[in-house]
């Protein structure tokens, strides 16, 4: 059992200090003391350890008009370490590298067929090897802190991937292959769960945050108390299989009327194709609404999305919820169409946002996991950096 001793409070206060430096981007020792409530001496000793560990660097401040000794500005050292995030969707593998400040330093896509998932333990090292050896030279030698992998499917408690039940894949060989080859920890999770971490860090910092990903299926990443909520065996947030229409359309999961049979991008794309419509014809939402057939299809789509969102909001009463969808990114006006449907007297929410991260969110989130583990922090508020770059 975790007990309280001097070591515990040391670690706890280290987290407070480091998290505050990350959140503030640039901050002096005294300001950390004021903001956290920790004594100046405590902050100093913690900061000096962080500097010894090469995580934080000191910078002189210029153009400082106040009287008194000038503060020494503290920042994360972006050249100290980097992390890798990999997103494997049904047709691509995206590999991203980010530095300690969360800035993307490499971002590349490879073609891949999801049906060959069992070849990943061979393929991934080949793709990673040149990238890692290149960046290990730029950064201090061997400063890769870990690899995060985002997978489209449920990662259950036994580390099996259920990508299209009953198909399943044992992920342990992939993990050990990568861990042995690159001598770093490898973390694996579902894409919706990886995404919500990225949304917290880059889009909207909230202790509790929800991110609904609409792609082939529909997943909800749930962040509670700065931690991804997995449920007891990894199945939490599979909202694509929430029933919104009893006795509705049959679904591969065995039930009828599942949310994703009505509101996934796949279903929308098929409806449009059946009507002989391609979205390339409609650069704006206005142009789309001018087309009667397209308008009707989108009205249906919105009505289904609204039902699903209503249910999610009903359960979680979210302060903020992020929608990650190529359709919503293309036509942000959809959000305004949808909101009037979310006015039941038993639901309430703060704000619904469209993700600015798009298809990169799950790889970004995957890259954040090893960084957070390495720094030993709970939350990772990089919004300040993101705005700046």
Partner DNA sequence: TAATATTAGTTTATCTAACAAACCAAAACG
Partner DNA sequence: CGTTTTGGTTTGTTAGATAAACTAATATTA
For DNA, the binding residue among 2, 52, 66, 133 (CB under 7 A) is 66
For DNA, the binding residue among 67, 130, 166, 254 (CB under 7 A) is 67
Stretch that binds DNA, among 22-30, 155-163, 165-173, 222-230 (CB under 7 A): 22-30
Site string for a copy of itself, 89-128 (x = CB under 8 A): ----------------------------------------
Q: Distance (Å, rounded) from C-alpha 308 to C-alpha 217?
A: 13
Q: Distance (Å, rounded) from C-alpha 356 to C-alpha 263?
A: 21
**Cα radius of gyration rounded to whole Å, the chain:** 23
The nearest distance, CB 45 to DNA, in angstroms, is 5
Residue 20 interacts with DNA (CB under 7 A)?
no
Residue 317 interacts with DNA (CB under 7 A)?
no
For DNA, the binding residue among 10, 35, 245, 373 (CB under 7 A) is 10
The nearest distance, CB 379 to DNA, in angstroms, is 19
- Write out the two tokens for 361: 């969110």
> Residue 273's binding partner, choosing from a copy of itself, DNA, none, with beta-carbon cut-off 5 to 8 A by kind?
none
Q: Distance (Å, rounded) from C-alpha 58 to C-alpha 141?
A: 22
- Write out the two tokens for 375: 């720094």
- Alpha carbon separation from 233 to 121, 129, 292 (Å, rounded): 24, 33, 45
Residue 53 interacts with DNA (CB under 7 A)?
no
Residue 376 interacts with DNA (CB under 7 A)?
no
> Could you give the 3-state DSSP secondary structure of residue 341?
helix
SS (H, E, C) 89-136: CCCEEEEEEEECCCCEEEEEEEECCHHHHHHHHHHHHHHHHHHHHHHH
28 vs 80, beta carbon nearer DNA = 28
217 vs 370, beta carbon nearer a copy of itself = 217
> Residue 30's binding partner, choosing from DNA, a copy of itself, none, with beta-carbon cut-off 5 to 8 A by kind?
DNA
Residue 38 interacts with a copy of itself (CB under 8 A)?
yes
- Residue 192's φ and ψ, nearest 5 degrees, are -65, -40
> Residue 28's binding partner, choosing from DNA, a copy of itself, none, with beta-carbon cut-off 5 to 8 A by kind?
DNA
Residues 82, 352 contacting (CB under 8 angstroms): no
Which is it for strands 209-214 and 218-224: parallel, antiparallel or unpaired?
antiparallel
For a copy of itself, the binding residue among 126, 137, 246, 292 (CB under 8 A) is 246
- Alpha carbon separation from 214 to 70, 119, 278 (Å, rounded): 50, 26, 19
Residue 297 interacts with a copy of itself (CB under 8 A)?
no
Stretch that binds DNA, among 58-66, 96-104, 124-132, 201-209 (CB under 7 A): 58-66
The nearest distance, CB 17 to DNA, in angstroms, is 9
Partners of 87 in the beta sheet? 94, 150
Residue 1 interacts with a copy of itself (CB under 8 A)?
yes
- The DSSP secondary structure of 134-200, one letter per residue, reads HHHHHSSTT-EEEEEEEESSEE-TTSEEEEETTEEEE-HHHHHHHHHHH-S-EEEEEHHHHHHHHII
Residue 240 interacts with a copy of itself (CB under 8 A)?
yes
Q: Distance (Å, rounded) from C-alpha 47 to C-alpha 55?
A: 10
Which parts of 317-348 fold into alpha helices (H)? 326-330, 333-338
Q: Cis check for the bond before 166: say yes or no (omega within 30 of 0).
A: yes
The nearest distance, CB 10 to DNA, in angstroms, is 4
Write out the binding residues for a copy of itself, residues 304-343 only, by CB under 8 A: 304, 307, 310-312, 314-319, 343
Residues at the site binding a copy of itself, with contacts judged by CB under 8 A: 1, 3-6, 8-10, 12-13, 16, 35-38, 154, 156, 162, 165-166, 208, 220, 224-225, 229-246, 251-255, 303-304, 307, 310-312, 314-319, 343-350
Residues at the site binding DNA, with contacts judged by CB under 7 A: 3-7, 9-10, 13, 28-31, 37-42, 44-48, 64-72
């Amino acid at each position: 059992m975790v007990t309280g001793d001097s070591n515990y409070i040391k670690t706890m206060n280290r987290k407070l200090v480091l998290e505050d430096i990350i959140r503030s981007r640039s901050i002096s020792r005294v300001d950390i003391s004021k903001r956290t409530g920790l004594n100046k001496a405590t902050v100093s000793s913690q900061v000096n350890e962080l500097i010894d560990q090469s995580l934080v660097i000191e910078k002189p401040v210029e153009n400082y008009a106040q009287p008194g000794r000038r503060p020494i500005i503290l920042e994360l050292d972006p050249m100290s370490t980097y992390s890798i995030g990999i997103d494997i969707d049904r047709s691509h593998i995206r590999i991203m590298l980010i530095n300690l400040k969360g800035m993307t330093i490499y971002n590349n896509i490879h073609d891949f067929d999801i049906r060959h998932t069992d070849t990943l333990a061979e393929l991934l090292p080949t793709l990673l090897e040149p990238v890692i050896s290149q960046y290990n030279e730029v950064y201090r030698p061997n400063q890769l802190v870990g690899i995060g992998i985002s997978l489209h499917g449920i990662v259950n408690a036994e580390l099996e991937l259920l990508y299209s039940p009953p198909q399943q894949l044992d992920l342990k060989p992939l993990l050990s292959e990568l861990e042995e080859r690159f001598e770093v920890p490898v973390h694996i999770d579902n894409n919706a769960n990886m995404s919500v971490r990225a949304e917290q860090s880059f889009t909207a910092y909230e202790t509790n945050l929800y991110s609904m990903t609409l792609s082939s299926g529909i997943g909800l990443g749930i962040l509670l108390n700065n931690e991804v909520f997995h449920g007891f065996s990894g199945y939490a947030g599979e909202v694509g299989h929430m029933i919104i229409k009893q006795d509705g359309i049959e679904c591969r999961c065995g039930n009828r009327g599942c949310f994703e049979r009505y509101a996934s991008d796949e279903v929308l794309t098929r409806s449009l194709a059946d009507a002989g419509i391609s979205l390339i014809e409609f650069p704006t939402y206005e142009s789309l609404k001018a087309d009667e057939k397209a308008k009707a299809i989108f009205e249906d789509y919105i009505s289904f999305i609204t039902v699903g969102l209503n249910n999610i909001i009903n359960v979680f009463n979210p302060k903020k919820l992020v929608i990650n969808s190529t359709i919503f990114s293309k036509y942000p006006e959809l959000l305004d169409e949808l909101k009037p449907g979310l006015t039941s007297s038993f639901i309430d929410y703060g704000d619904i946002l469209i993700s600015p991260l798009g298809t990169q969110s799950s790889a970004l989130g995957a890259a954040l996991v090893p960084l957070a583990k390495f720094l030993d922090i709970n939350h990772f508020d990089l919004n300040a950096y993101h705005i700046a770059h």
